[in-house]
Structure 1
Amino acid sequence: MPECPHCGKWFRSNKGLKQHITKVHTVDTPLGRVFDPSTIDPIEAMERRAKRAKRRNR
């Protein structure tokens, strides 16, 4: 299961991950889509990883 490197969200497929990154972590500009650094949330990513680890250890 691929994980988003920017927000820590998990997806069932690589296609879902690519769509998520395109829709959430990029913005449209006249020159095309560009990565938006304001969408990075390392605290939420850490919380998601901790929650997932807790579920795995049950």
Structure 2
Amino acid sequence: MSSLQSVVASLQVLQSQNYIIIAGMAGVCYDYFLTLGREVNLIWGKSWSIMSTLYVVVRLICF
């Protein structure tokens, strides 16, 4: 019976970790879509500069 309880406890920990990961991903996606309009106006709507290039590189690395 003790091994069954440890399995259940392990599954509960894994489920909690999954909820935390999903909440974090939801926060990142929310921030991305919240700032997408500004990104289009400030980066993609103007001519390329060194700052635009650096922004795109950092954005691709982090996302």
- TM value normalised by structure 2: 0.28
**Higher-RCO chain (CA-CA 8 Å, sequence separation at least 6):** 1
Instruction: Find the structure with the greater CA-based Rg.
Output: 2
In proportion to residue count, which structure has more helix? 2
In proportion to residue count, which structure has more strand? 1
